[in-house]
A and B are shown apart, each in its own frame.
Chain A
Amino acid sequence: MRPFIQFESVSKAFGSVTVVNALDLAIEKGEFVSLLGPSGSGKTTILMMLAGFERPTQGAIYLDGRRIDHLPPYRRQMGVVFQNYALFPHMSVAENVAFPLEMQRVPRAEIAERVERALDMVKLKQLKDRRPSQLSGGQQQRIALTRALVFEPSVILMDEPLGALDKQLREHMQLEIRELHKRLGLTIVFVTHDQSEALTMSDRIAVFNAGRIEQIDDPQIIYDTPRTRFVAEFIGETNLIEAKVASVDDHVARISLGAGLSARAHAGNGLSAGQTASFSLRPERIRLGAVPEGSNALDMTIADCIYHGDHMRVQLTRDDFSLVARCERLAGNWTVGASVVASFDPSDCTVLTQ
């Protein structure tokens, strides 16, 4: 049994440049999967291959057990939401939403009713006679979404649909899309380069780098246990330190961090003593002051303290070794130049070899 959507070693090259490289990706029905990656990592290209606007150079794409990579876009039954909305400027809102239904030759009376219902769902029924040019960005976005939903496509594809909205509206729309996804059981493939957007919305995130998937997992796993340096740095903020594995013993590795400091960390498979690796530690996992039982403790000096409203960023150094810690504002009164013990649990840091 194939997954609902499957990319099977799909490659895409433009001329001599390979943009997507032997991609394997499986998406289940009803899943919300985000494709996350830096600019130029091939996210749009992947989405366009799924929608049918680009042909894979190699490999196959399956939807619901059928091979679709040779089908033109209009026979794929996918609702695509473009970054710039792509509403038809010469049609009213209602005509825009009716368009996909007309294409399916739905009877007139039913079209009117379904358009009404769909616009009701996004609470924009009162705007149905307006032209897209008479709508705000958020309203246009919602109409574009409605138009992509109304014909009950098997998959919704969105390419940075919220990129042009201001922060507040973007967060509101994130919740709204998430809510629609749950309520209607939609399968959504969502492209973004905003990591917090991916973390809040997705069931799973695929992190892309240069046309390859670095890691695909649910948001919490991606954040807590990144598998590669790239993922650790791209998602959230981290202290990434080049280090040496001193010893490995029963899934606990002792890592020498430099400046005479060392820490115990959870070790994955394939880690051996003497190896160089990257040590990743999230700033918010570092405690200053108290040292609970069983945690790592490093004697550091406070080099700088930066006020960030709801939290402080504390720069810690010892010789040429440095760390950034994120502390609650009221957690302590830190003075620059003071010595402090930085502590963290072995399970809160990761050792990366890739």
Chain B
Amino acid sequence: MEDKISKIKQNFEKEEGKISPPELRIKYLGRHSELNGLLHELATLSDAQKKATGSSINKLKKYIETQLDSLESLSDNSQPSEDFDPTLPGNKPQVGSLHPTTKVINLINQFFIYQGYSVYEGPEIETEENNFGKLNLPSDHPARELMDTLYIKQPEYLLRTHTSSVEARALTNEALPIRIVVPGKVYRNETENTTNNSMFYQYEGLLVDHGVNMSHLKGTLIAFVKYLYGEDVKTRFRCKYYPQVEPGVGLDIECPFCLSVGCMVCKYRGFIEILGAGMVHPNMLKSCGIDHTKYSGFAFGMGLDRLVMTKYEIADIRKLYNGELVTL
């Protein structure tokens, strides 16, 4: 038996370079191979012999397999099959992408979540009370008319004109202290053009706690603007009027197109306004049931669309939301 086994090994080694590996595999490992035949003969042997011979057969089998494996892998590289053209393009998987506005919201959320804010939401169909009344905008306040509200049922129900309505809800319903940011859709009754759409996005922030003052607002906004525009961005804090806040702040960044010299883009201001902010008006705190002698807070709000448009080089706001935007 052992002789037969070593004979098979010799034959294999002789033929190794001459016959193709698949043929060798059939001849030496196939069902009708000599080696397989020997396995059947094992039955005739004594137990002790069975064990010894069986192990020799298995050893040879393993050896042949290893040899064949390495031969095959060699031949794969050295002799590519004729129809294999590695320069053909790959099969790209279809990959989906998020809308640019969602991406910008995620980017900004990331900053504020790290600062301890919760992402908060509210309805788009609002009451006059939450959209105006609680925000220190009593009826007959000129700002109400300036906002060109879309009404569902005048004067009570409307489409929110700003995300500040959610501040009123949060201040009324959530426990203090509070830190929230609110991204969301807002609506205005506007003639649509490249810069105006009846629906657009705002991003609102609110922090109310003990001992909050304008230095905290300034610190937060500067850190945020640096996060968004880079460490070297130049900012300008202006006094600005918003009914919901007192004192009010307008935050500008240096115009990146003219570096504050003045150009068409910044309307020769040298700066571009990016958000409005201020200390929450005591009337607003009061109307939401908060003791303004114990708590103070700041709020800020910004339009998101211009940010998205600048980042993704989109010239027409309508294209963001009318299905003409193809994400690559």
A and B form one complex: no
